[in-house]
Structure 1
Amino acid sequence: MSLELLKQLRTSVALTGLLAGALTISACQQQSEPEAGMEGVSTEESVPMSAEPAEPSDVVVNTEDASLNEVEDDTVASVNSGVTQILYLCSPELKVDATYKEETNQVVVATDMGTVTLNQTNEGTNPEVFEVATSIDGGQGFTQWRVAHEARDTGVMRTAGTDEANVDTFECNKVS
């Protein structure tokens, strides 16, 4: 081989190496995608990747204690003291959900037939007698709820529509 041929070969290898290096470097660089021909198509922005967390890890703790008056002004609380809810299963088949309101001497009786609010009509505690001058479905008639024992374990509901001679009676037991 001649010396000139070796010089040309060396120059070709060097140029090829430089070209390969340039291609490698340009391939690693981010390039934007070509613009779409249609308007209104959203393009995706390139976001550089980072090893930093997305959210700051600094935690801010407020060490100032709010005064009682500040909390009192912002706080609304309701306490259902004197309200007891008991579920009864009755015979003939009926489910009674009774909510006793001690302060107003009332019971709200909810059944599949309807819901009524009854007022206590006696001073006694055994049995407690609650009545209202409407039928259980809210129509004309009456509904009476008698509940016995201090724990209100058993109850009897009597209800009638316009024909007060035709009274439906249900014997109920508290569900444990």
Structure 2
Amino acid sequence: MNLGQLKQLRTTAFMTGLLASAITISACQQQQEPEPSLEDSINAEESVPMSADPADPSDTVVETDDASLNEVEDDTVANVNTGLTQMTYLCSPELKVEATYKDETNQVVIGTDKGTVTLAQTNEGSNPEVFEVASAMDGGEGFTQWRVAHEERETGVMRTAGADESNVNTYECKTNK
């Protein structure tokens, strides 16, 4: 081999190496993928998992048979709450009293955080009205008394005791208007 061919071979080898390097480098570079267009999204079919269970029926059943009066009257109970008055009192020492007056039966239902009792009226007067029951507020042994004054039942006094009736708790109450 002569010197001219050797230079030409060296140039060819150099150029081939350079071309191979360029191809390798371009192959390793990350290229951006084109973003999917709206048409591609529309044409793509999405797979939706299916259940083997049947769908719930959406049919509405309407009963058209009218019940007779005899069938209805056995199942129907109507209460008319006339003569009921509900009032809230704030008492000292601190106590909240919910009172439901049943004027027709001369009773009052007293509810507190200590319990609920139904008291019967023990006097004929209307000022003060006196209600009593032979049990404590928690339903145990003792007594509870409720005295309410004024025509509007604006103020009240509650006395209650447990089994030890000598230890009486007294609360002075006013309506929460």
Aligned residues: 117
Separation of aligned partners in 2, 1:122 and 1:104: 13
Give SS of 1:110's match. strand
Is the aligned partner of 1:129 residue 2:118?
no
**Corresponding residue for 2:84?**
83
Change beyond 3 A, Cα 1:127–1:35: closer
Give the secondary-structure state (helix, strand or coil) at the position aligned to 1:140.
coil
Unpaired segments ≥5 residues, structure 1: 1-32, 43-68
Percent of pairs with identical residues: 68
Flag the 1:112–1:122 CA change in 2: closer, same or farther, 3 A.
same
Matched with 1:102 is 103
Runs of 4+ in 1 over 3 A off after TM superposition: 33-36, 38-42, 75-78
Q: Structure 1 residues 92, 35: CA separation in 2 closer, same or farther (over 3 Å shift)? A: closer
Q: What does residue 58 of structure 2 align with? A: none
Whole-Å Cα distance in 2 between the matches of residues 154 and 108 of structure 1?
16
Change in 2 beyond 3 A, CA 1:39/1:129: closer
1:125-154 per-position Cα deviation (integer Å, ceiling 9, x unaligned): 000000000001100000000000000000
TM-score w.r.t. structure 2 length?
0.58
- The residue type equivalent to 2:82 in the other structure is S
CA root-mean-square deviation: 3.1
Find the counterpart in structure 2 of residue 174 from structure 1: 175
Counterparts of 1:29-108 in structure 2, within 5 Å, are 77-108=78-109
Would the alpha carbon gap of residues 140 and 81 (structure 1) be closer, same or farther in structure 2, given more than 3 Å must change?
A: same
Distance 1:79 1:156, change over 3 A: same
Q: Distance in 2 between matches of 1:172 and 1:98?
A: 11
Relative to structure 1, is the Cα distance of residues 164 and 40 closer, same or farther in structure 2, using a 3 angstrom cutoff? closer
Partner SS state of residue 134, structure 2: strand
1:156 and 2:144 are equivalent in the alignment: no
- Determine the C-alpha separation between the residues in 2 that align with 1:112 and 1:124: 29
The higher radius of gyration belongs to: 2
* Alignment-derived partner of residue 114 in structure 1: 115
Deviation, structure 1 residue 80: 1.1
What is the distance in 2 between the residues matched to 1:88 and 1:144? 15
Secondary structure, in 3 states, of the residue corresponding to 2:120? strand
TM-score normalized with structure 1 length: 0.58
Q: Which deviations, in whole Å up to 9, do the C-alpha atoms of 1:55-89 show, x marking residues without a partner?
A: xxxxxxxxxxxxxx9xx97x975321100000000
Structure 1, residues 78-132: CA drift from partner, whole Å, max 9, x if none? 3211000000000000000000001110000000000000000000000000000
Distance 2:47 2:116 in 1: 68
Q: Cα 1:175–1:34, aligned 2, differ >3 Å: closer, same or farther?
A: closer
Any gaps of 5 or more consecutive residues in structure 2? 1-44, 54-68
